[in-house]
């Protein structure tokens, strides 16, 4: 017995076109600037949930600040390997460095020393790269909280903080703290428990290239 | 002016304990076996949404089949780098190989030849590893659809297919096809548009180690 062939869309350009068209039809994007609408579209595309558009908090210049930072060759600082893995390297405008310090040798000891998680300790290793950078947090609330503490203590300011930590302990709270007081940085944050590395990477990819998959 | 220190949970064991306790309190886990409840808990923890427990389809032996495959040293086949990056290597019971073929050299040409996406073409390179393996699909519906087509054409059967492709074109449909006809394989699938690499990795981590972060 041979089965009938499966019927599904196989053309990449058509898949992207249909996907982005669905987002445009179902998501409320009218409150966004064109840049932020592209960022929201990529974030929605990464998670399959059009309603997250309604939970995005952001500063007025967030997209422009992130776009300019990448164009200027600033690095992208990620809280975990998954965020780094989701950044499409060929979209980056200046061969920007993607930095993940979570698995560096000194991190577990540093975490013990400061009484915090490895994710938080890893943020301290960003110090020399923070100034004007794009920060993409897609996993750990403690990474975002500790970044804000370092900024309070006088650390150099990133151009943009992409706040997408996820989960049940500190995710909503860390993003609320960021949105409530972004410490002079531009920011994008998905309010609530939802988030994740795919959304954080998607936001970076939007800053880097918008929606280049759309065939004009 | 010095700001007051931020108040948040900094202890990793306590963060995990509170997270998993929230899942246990809020998610409907009673229909699961103990193994599947651990898998569901990790998947929920990865996405911050307790309600995904209600959308998990799975075969009766899914957890046991995946657990046994990993214990036997079978490889884990992933549809994208992000899924691979989210697999916690130290949890793997037999130093299992994590295989991602998406960026191998021949993939773009093969995609053109078969009139499908790169993600689908990359699945063809799994052929020598499929037998008894754990497949983790966290991104591309076309990867899952094409795997099912290859099984229909007689490809070796993996022990378990973890179906977590995400998005608006083919994600729900490919997972419904898997759940409706798993071709003699065990499977777990999150019905609908939602999914993603973090959930797919989380499912693998559950098969590998359960919930080892819970301090007994």
Give me the pLDDT at residue A112, please.
Answer: 98
Domain-located, residue B150: yes
A59 is a domain residue:
yes
Positive or negative torsion for Cα A113, A118, A120, A125 = positive
User: What CATH code is carried by the domain that includes residue B183?
Assistant: 3.40.50.10230
Q: Which residues on chain B are in Cβ contact (under 8 Å) with A176?
A: none
Report ipTM for this prediction. 0.96
CB A201 within 8 A of CB B82: yes
What is d(CA B156, CA B18) in angstroms, rounded to the nearest whole number?
Answer: 42
Give domain status of residue A63, yes or no.
yes
d(CA A131, CA B206): 38
Confidence at residue B215, expressed as pLDDT on a 0 to 100 scale = 64
Q: Which domain holds residue B108?
A: 54-208
When divided into structural domains, chain B yields a total of: 1
Among residues B105, B139, B143, the alpha carbon closest in space to that of B124 is found at: B143
pLDDT > 90 in chain B, percent: 96
Which letter does DSSP use for residue A119 in this model?
A: H
For the residues B134-151, what does the mean pLDDT come to? 98
Across the interface, which of A84, A85, A168 has its CB nearest the CB of B18?
A168
Residue pair B99/B125 in contact (Cβ under 8 Å)? The answer is no
Instruction: Give yes or no for a contact between A213 and A13, defined as CB atoms under 8 angstroms apart.
Output: yes
Mean pLDDT of B129-137: 98
Residue A60 distance to chain B (closest CA, Å): 25
Q: Quick one: pLDDT at residue A5? A: 83
List the strands of the sheet with B56-58, edge to edge. Answer: B56-58, B186-190, B160-163, B134-137, B76-78, B98-100
pLDDT by position in tens, chain A (length 216): 566 789 999 999 999 999 999 999 999 999 999 999 999 999 999 999 999 999 999 999 999 999 999 999 999 999 999 999 999 999 999 999 999 999 999 999 999 999 999 999 999 999 999 999 999 999 999 999 999 999 999 999 999 999 999 999 999 999 999 999 999 999 999 999 999 999 999 999 999 999 999 865
Q: Quick one: tokens of A140? A: 């750990």
Please state, in angstroms and rounded to a whole number, the distance separating the CA atoms of residues B202 and B20. Answer: 13
List the one residue out of A11, A69, A106, A81 whose CA is nearest residue A204.
A69
Class of residue B25 by CB neighbours under 10 A (exposed 0-12, middle 13-18, buried 19+): exposed
Q: Which residue of A has its CA nearest to B21?
A: A168
Average pLDDT over residues B110-129: 98
* pTM more than 0.95: yes
Residue B204 forms part of a structural domain: yes
Whether residue B186 lies inside any domain: the answer is yes
Q: How confident is the model at residue B214, as a pLDDT?
A: 83
- Is A125 exposed, middle or buried (CB count within 10 Å of its CB: 0-12, 13-18, 19+)? middle
Asked if the structure places residue A46 within a domain, the reply is no
pLDDT of residue B4: 72
Task: Give a yes or no: residue A171 inside a domain.
Answer: yes
Neighbours of B181 (CB within 10 A): 14
Chain B contacts of A147, Cβ < 8 Å? none
Residues B46-88: tens digit of each pLDDT: 999 999 999 999 999 999 999 999 999 999 999 999 999 999 9
The answer to whether position B26 is within a domain reads no
């Amino acid at each position: 017995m041979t089965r009938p062939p499966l019927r599904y869309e196989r053309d990449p350009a058509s898949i992207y076109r249909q996907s982005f068209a669905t987002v445009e039809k179902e998501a409320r994007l009218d409150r966004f600037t064109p840049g932020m609408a592209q960022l929201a579209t990529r974030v929605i595309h990464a998670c399959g949930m059009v309603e997250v558009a309604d939970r995005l908090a952001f500063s007025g210049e967030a997209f422009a600040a992130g776009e300019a930072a990448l164009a200027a060759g600033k690095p992208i600082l990620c809280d975990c390997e998954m965020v780094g893995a989701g950044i499409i390297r060929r979209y980056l405008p200046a061969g920007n460095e993607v930095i993940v310090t979570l698995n560096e040798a000194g991190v577990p000891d540093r975490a013990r020393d400061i009484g915090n998680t490895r994710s938080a300790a890893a943020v301290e290793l960003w110090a020399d790269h923070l100034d004007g950078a794009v920060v993409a947090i897609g996993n750990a609330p403690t990474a975002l909280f500790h970044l804000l503490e370092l900024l309070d203590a006088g650390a150099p300011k990133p151009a943009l903080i992409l706040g997408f930590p996820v989960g049940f302990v500190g995710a909503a709270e860390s993003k609320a703290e960021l949105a409530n007081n972004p410490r002079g940085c531009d920011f994008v944050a998905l309010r609530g428990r939802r988030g994740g590395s795919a959304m954080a990477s998607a936001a970076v990819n939007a800053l880097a290239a918008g929606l280049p998959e759309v065939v004009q």
